[in-house]
Every structure is written in structure tokens, then in C-alpha cells.
Structure 1
Amino acid sequence: MSSPASPAPPAPRFGVNYTPRTGWFHSWLDLDEDAVGEDLQAIASLGADHVRIFPLWPLLQPNRTLIRPRGLADVRAVVDAAASVGLDVVVDAIQGHLSSFDFIPSWLATWHRRNMFTDPEVVAATAELVRSLAACVADAPNLLGLTLGNEVNQFSASNHPDPDVTSVAEAEAWTRTLLEAARAGAPAGMHTVANYDAAWFMDDHAFTPDQSARLGDATVIHSWIFDGTGQRYGARSYEVAHRAEYYLELARAFSPAPQRPLWLQEVGAPRSLLTEDEVPWFVASTIENSLSCPELWGVTWWCSHDVSRSLADFPPLEHTLGLFDEHGRIKNAGEAFRDAVAAARETAPPASRGRAIEFPVGADALLGRSAAAPGGSVFEAWMDASRAGERPTVRVVREQAEIVAGDTRTGGAAATRVGS
């Protein structure tokens, strides 16, 4: 008697990071629900099934002990508007950092300067905001969950102009505290932390790969080719086409559970490196290659709408990243995304990965992370193996013990050790 077949894995989700067409994220100051509805309807027309939204921290919590009911109500209104057009929602809880601008409340700055990650009163107040925000959307049937901010870990980075100096233990304690607050407010949600790639590639960064891969309900990555990939290898290079796929496999290598979901939560087509003619190729190849990664939960594209050129002081590329322009007209990127999503619905589940590229790391992944960055030995070895058709994965090797978590289904495939 044959054993029952394993259930097919769920199909990956496809979504968009929602940047309001009118007023950008400053639109939270005076929410226009009609404009939001139009934007969300346009996103749904691409075949997307979810959006990620970004209420600004200073508007929700302008004082350490004041969480504005109107601010929470506005978030719920956007969640409900998304439901009306068939979109699920992920709410980012701490903004945080967006498109080169920092959004922190005045009670953390200048004369009131405190460390957001370590000051006990600040952490308690931030946790209360996360809990309150989660509670106000917990019963929404289209809520996917909360994400802790947008690359908030950049505030702790050594290259930040005014860093909140933080240890690895303190970074983990902060993350755990806020995730527990999200769970207290919305027990059923998929709650995650959205660290930018310094956590994976910067040797001295307090937020580590282990934290991203073990805390929360999915491992989140933000993959951008302006991290050195496009500059080093060229816009239409093999490395650019497979950047997100590599990053997903690297993230999977740190997972403590073979079937932990992987979420490509941010990826976009920067015109600082790509021409308009190259954008459709990049969109299609990024999504197609990402679909070859087992445990992919979903892809959420950055972003829905271009930042209006009437707004000042943005890096030029921020005015070009949308799937729609600032007037709501679909761009070639939007058409390519729509077509890639439609094609993905017909794609078979991915096969097991091939040879594992070993990645030696120090205790708590504090040493040698830069070997995995573009130009590093792990990155180069993976790309060489991928170019040769080996569909490689990554295997993390600790100082004292080896953890095999890149792909437990390779059937003992050979591994290649690289790195420092």
C-alpha cells in the first residue's frame, strides 16, 4: 500500500508595498479615504493579493504616553478599504525609516535624546504602541499581521549619522519584546521583523541573521541591487538577475526549521542602475528566480506609486520606483509585475535545491558576515555554482558545530566550504 502523498505547499503570495499616490506617507496627516481606495483598486488590478502599509510613528504616538485614537482609526480605515477590493494587509508598526527619511517622534530626539532599543521607558512605550496598533486591527478578516517597522535596525548601524548603540543581546531583547506586544494585541497574526541587509552582511551589526531567521513567524528579507551587486557586476548581469534568489537561500540557511516561511518583503527596480528598457527583464527574472526557492511565502514589490516630483529632497531614484506613476498611470514595471504574477500562478512548486555552499560564521554570526555580501567569497561561490546550473543552496557552519538548514532535502549533496 503506497503512503499518502505530501500535501502541496501553498502557492506564494504576491503583493505591493503601498506608497500613496497623493502626498506620499505624509497623507496620513489628513487621510483621504477616496484616494486610498483608488490606489488600492489599481494595486488589486495587477493581480496582487496583499499590501503592506506604513503609518508614521510620530503621528500615532506624538508623546511617549499618548497614542492617538484617530491615528489608530485611520489605520483601520485603510485596512478595511483594502478588504473592499480583495486585498489582505500587513501593517508596519514602527516608522521608522522610509525612502531615506527617518520618522522618529520628538520625544526621542535632540533635548529628549534616548536610545530607542535600550531605554526601558522607550521600549515599554514602543511596545504599547505595537500592542495597541495590533489590537485595533486584530479582528479584521484581511489582516495578515504586523511587521516591526521598516528597516528600523538601520538606527543601530555603525554607519548611521547618529546611531543608537546597541549590543546583540539588546537588539534581540528589543525584537522579542515588540513581537510579544504584537502577539498580545493580535494573537492570530503572522508577525515579523523587517531588518535591512546590514543584519546579514555587516560584520559589526547588532541585529543578526539568527535574529531575523528565528524571531517572528517568517524570515523577512529586503533585496536591493544597489547594495553593490549592480555596481560591481553590471545592470543586466547574472548576479543582478539572481540577487533575490541568492538572498532567499542565504536566509533559509539560518532557519532553525526546514519549513519556516521566507518572505521577499521588499524588492524593486532602481533606475539609478537599470534603464527603463531593462526594468521588465529585471521584474520578470527576479520573480521567476525567486519562485525556485522552497518555502517562499511571497513577494511584495517596492512600490505601488512613484513619489511625486513636487516633493523635495528625495534621492532621484525614489521618484521612479513605482509600478504606477504619480498620476496613477501604469508603467512598464507594473505591466511586467502583472504578467509575472499571472505566470507564477501557473508555475509548478520548486524542486529541491542542489549543492550547498558552506558559510563559516563565528559565534552568533558576528564574524564573517561580509563573506556573504556581494563580492564576498560565499556570494561568488554561490553565483558560480548557479551559473553552472547546480541550483545551489547555502549551509551555515558554526565555530563549534555545523547547522544544516539550507535544504534538508538535498539527499546528502556535496557541500563546498568557502568564506573566512
Structure 2
Amino acid sequence: MRFGANYTPTRGWFHHWLDFDLDAVRADLDSIAALGLDHIRVFPLWPLFQPNRTLIRPRAVEQLVRLADAAAERGLDVNVDGLQGHLSSFDFLPAWTRTWHRRNIFTDPEVLAGQEEYLRTLAAALADRPNFLGMTLGNEINQFSDGPHPDPDRITDEQAAAWLTRMLAACERGAPGRMHLHAAYDAAWYRDGHPFTPAQAARLGAVTAVHSWVFNGTAQRHGPTGSATEQHAAYLVELSKAWAEDPHRPVWLQEVGAPAPHIPEEGAARFTEATVAAALDCPDLWGVTWWCSHDVARSLADFPELEYGLGLLRDDRTVKPAGRTIAALVEEYRGRAHRPPVRSTALVVDAGDATAAPRRSVCAPGGPVFEAWAELAAQGARPALVLSELANDTAHLTARGITEVRTPDEVGPARRPSPSVPHRRSTS
């Protein structure tokens, strides 16, 4: 099992690339490694690294390599997100894609060529580093393609698939054989009509990434200690497997955190332990990467309130209760084979056409699939999920160890029904 953190620098947040201080980075990485973690996910800011379509700043790329080397000195592997893109409610898009130069970042030929070269360049710069895991295309870049973004670049699901395929190929050209992937916020799984789809998430790239945030209606419906809340990450892991063509495709819980006030500060350690334990009960889990390493400094303005306190460590690098919990879990699970029992009972997911999933909101908090799964989890069951198209496919069920298939109607309502909460965009 792999345990890591999304690295949020203590000095200047992700703006630290403007005043890159390797000593400060080393101190941050020391505090991360002291928790026993084995990897970090890092975030270049796209406009700073590629301020012009034909200019990828060599000095910025060199700084990224120096950060990766500093991580290696501390036994930390590195995954790099390329197109940032979007972080903690702020958008970071280069000027050559906005306003007077407004072009669709998913379809414009010149923008696509620029993105390809940027991703290839970053991957190639790190290709010879043993601790380089691979590239993630960007952080939840799907949010630029649809509402509730205030100014989306609208595309179809076919165009989204073409963009993902092309950008993953660029990463592969830069660093062949590494673990290159893409990551979406949960609209891909929950929002009807969203152009980034569950099938794309579960079938393109080396692994499936899921980002679990319980302020999306889960904690509001089920409370901070409800089984649906504490097992939301496990639910997304299992939901991804419904669409995976490989029954043992690895799934990376790439982001998960304890957002206040939905998870009260005094309950963060409990939530952390319960969430990670539930995720570890899912077969084929590659690893858990907490959002985030360090709190955002209060001296920085205009973040949503919940963003300031998501770290395992404070911005002075002292360990928080959630950080102590993660360190204890790492100590407990380090070196153990990850072989949880198969989940033999599966709940049927009928989202319409499996490729486009036009009715995927049945899987969202308040939807019949989600609430039936939550009820089974509250009863102590370990449910899997299977597409309706495969519910009678004996070979598929056997490959996954599924011996019982149930529909949401056969389960009944979840334990804490309440009015549905509108879908919310992910925090990170």
C-alpha cells in the first residue's frame, strides 16, 4: 500500500514557484516524510511554467526537477500534475487561452499542441528520476468543461475522450512506461450530461483516480459520522470498478480530506481513521493520498473557509490530530500485503448507456444507488457495484468474485433521508 500527501508548500502556497526556496521545500518535505509517507503529488502552476504558448520556462522546469530530487533524498516518490489549472477554488489558466486570446482549451488545435509539448516536456525532464511515478494531466480539469464553472469551455463526451487520449499520449512520449493518468472531480461520476464520464475515468490512463469530498451532499444528508460519510471514499473506489473493463484495475484515492464544518475539527481524526480504513477494505486500491500536507496560511486571502484547515500539518509544520492518525495508520499497514476479501454482493448501477452514462445522477448523494449502497454499508455489509449491462454476465461476475446481485429497490431507503442537496464542485 502507498500512503502520501498532496504537497501544499508552507511558504507562499503554490505561489512558491514565483520565489522558489529549496530550503523551505526541504523543510516541508522533512515534515511529510516524518509521518512515514512515501509519496507526494506536486502542482506546477501552468501560467508560470508556460506563460506563452511557445515558451516553457527552463528555469521553472529545473525547479520542478530540484523539488523531485529533494523528495528522493527523503524517500518520497513524486507524481506531477501538469495543467494547473484549478486549485482550491482558484483558476490558473495562461493568458494565451483567455479574454482577447480566448480559445477552447480542449479543442483548439494551437492550444492542444501547446499543452502536448508542455506535458511532454515536464515528463521528459523527470523521466530518468527513479522516484518519478508519472504525470496526472491536471487537477480536476474537467471542471472547465461544464457548469457550475462560471465560464466553461463546452465540449462533448467524444471531445473529452479525444483530449484525454491525446494528452496521455504526450506524457507517455516524454516518460515511457510511467504511471500516467487523469483525475476528475466527482461530476464525472455524479452529474448527468457532464462530458467527462465514468467510462473515461475507469478506462483511460494507467490507473483510475478518485477524489472524495463529503461536502457534496453526503455529510449534509448523513452527518459527519454517518457510514455513508465515513465510507464515501470507499464508495467512489467501488463505483469506479463498475465501469472498469479490467476487473483488477488499480484505483488511486488521490484526494480525500476532512473539510470543516462538515467534519468538525474535533472529529477530523475519527473521520480520517474511518475513511482510510474503509478505503483499505477495497480490493485493488493502489494507495491513499491525503489532501493536503500543510494548512494554508491565514495570511493568504480569499480562500473558502474550509480550505485553510485541510492539512495533516499546520503551516508551522507541527502535526495535527489527523496527521498523527495517518502516521499511525501508515505504521500499522506499512509492509502488509493489501489483500482484503472480495466484495461478493453487488448493487446494480443503471445509468443508461454505459459509455455516456446519461443518468449517472442515480449514483450521487440522494440518488437510489448511492442511498442503497449507504444502507448496506450501515448494516455492516461490504457492497460492490456492477453496471446493469453486466449484471447477468457470468464471466464478469466470476472475475470479480461477485456471487449475489441486488437492485437498489431491493435494499430500501438509507437511514438518514433528507431533501436532496445540489451538486457542488470539489474543493481542490
How do 1:31-180 and structure 2 match up within 5 A? Answer: 31-180=20-169
Q: Is the CA contact 1:18–1:305 (under 8 Å) kept in the aligned structure 2?
A: yes
Q: Is the CA contact 1:356–1:406 (under 8 Å) kept in the aligned structure 2?
A: no
1:256 aligns with 2:259: no
1:288 aligns with 2:296: no
Identity of aligned residues (%): 51
Residue 361 of structure 1 corresponds to which residue in structure 2? 351
2:192 to 203, 206, 225: 203
Residue 309 of structure 1 corresponds to which residue in structure 2? 298
The offset of 1:417, in angstroms, is 5.2
The offset of 1:272, in angstroms, is 2.2
SS at 2:325 equivalent: helix
The offset of 1:159, in angstroms, is 1.6
Change (3 A) 1:127 1:290: same
Residue 7 of structure 1 corresponds to which residue in structure 2? none
Provide the rounded CA distance (Å) in 1 between the counterparts of 2:37 and 2:407. 38
Residue 174 of structure 2 corresponds to which residue in structure 1? 185
Residue 231 of structure 1 corresponds to which residue in structure 2? 220
Q: Which runs of 5+ in 1 are unaligned?
A: 1-11
Q: Is the CA contact 1:16–1:301 (under 8 Å) kept in the aligned structure 2?
A: yes
CA-to-partner distance for each residue in 1:20-55, whole Å, 9 max, x for gaps? 000000001121000000101110111100000000
Residue 388 of structure 1 corresponds to which residue in structure 2? 379
The offset of 1:201, in angstroms, is 0.4
- For residue 95 of structure 2, what is the amino acid of its counterpart? S
Q: Is the CA contact 2:46–2:83 (under 8 Å) kept in the aligned structure 1?
A: yes
Provide the rounded CA distance (Å) in 2 between the counterparts of 1:235 and 1:133. 40
RMSD of aligned residue pairs (Cα, Å): 1.8
1:349 aligns with 2:334: no
SS at 2:266 equivalent: coil
1:30 aligns with 2:39: no
The offset of 1:399, in angstroms, is 10
Residue 326 of structure 2 corresponds to which residue in structure 1? 337
Provide the rounded CA distance (Å) in 2 between the counterparts of 1:418 and 1:94. 42
Provide the rounded CA distance (Å) in 1 between the counterparts of 2:31 and 2:221. 36
- For residue 153 of structure 1, what is the amino acid of its counterpart? N
Q: Is the CA contact 1:283–1:340 (under 8 Å) kept in the aligned structure 2?
A: no
SS at 1:89 equivalent: strand
Number of matched pairs: 408
- TM-score of the aligned structures, taking structure 1 as reference length: 0.94
Residue 414 of structure 1 corresponds to which residue in structure 2? 405
Change (3 A) 1:382 1:43: same
Change (3 A) 1:388 1:116: same
Q: Is the CA contact 1:254–1:405 (under 8 Å) kept in the aligned structure 2?
A: no
SS at 2:48 equivalent: helix
Change (3 A) 1:371 1:69: same
- For residue 365 of structure 2, what is the amino acid of its counterpart? P
Provide the rounded CA distance (Å) in 2 between the counterparts of 1:283 and 1:406. 32
Q: Is the CA contact 2:4–2:290 (under 8 Å) kept in the aligned structure 1?
A: yes
The offset of 1:406, in angstroms, is 7.6
Q: Is the CA contact 1:291–1:350 (under 8 Å) kept in the aligned structure 2?
A: yes
Provide the rounded CA distance (Å) in 2 between the counterparts of 1:399 and 1:353. 16
Stretch moving more, 150-159 or 335-344: 335-344
Q: Is the CA contact 1:253–1:407 (under 8 Å) kept in the aligned structure 2?
A: no
Provide the rounded CA distance (Å) in 1 between the counterparts of 2:15 and 2:149. 23
Residue 3 of structure 1 corresponds to which residue in structure 2? none
Provide the rounded CA distance (Å) in 2 between the counterparts of 1:280 and 1:399. 38
Stretch moving more, 206-215 or 339-348: 339-348
- TM-score of the aligned structures, taking structure 2 as reference length: 0.92
Q: Is the CA contact 2:220–2:262 (under 8 Å) kept in the aligned structure 1?
A: yes
CA-to-partner distance for each residue in 1:183-235, whole Å, 9 max, x for gaps? 00000210000111001100010000000111000000000001110111111
Q: Is the CA contact 1:362–1:398 (under 8 Å) kept in the aligned structure 2?
A: no
SS at 1:37 equivalent: helix
- For residue 200 of structure 1, what is the amino acid of its counterpart? W
The offset of 1:411, in angstroms, is 4.8
Change (3 A) 1:406 1:361: farther
Provide the rounded CA distance (Å) in 1 between the counterparts of 2:70 and 2:148. 39
Provide the rounded CA distance (Å) in 2 between the counterparts of 1:299 and 1:399. 28
Residue 208 of structure 2 corresponds to which residue in structure 1? 219
Change (3 A) 1:407 1:417: farther
Q: Is the CA contact 2:219–2:229 (under 8 Å) kept in the aligned structure 1?
A: yes
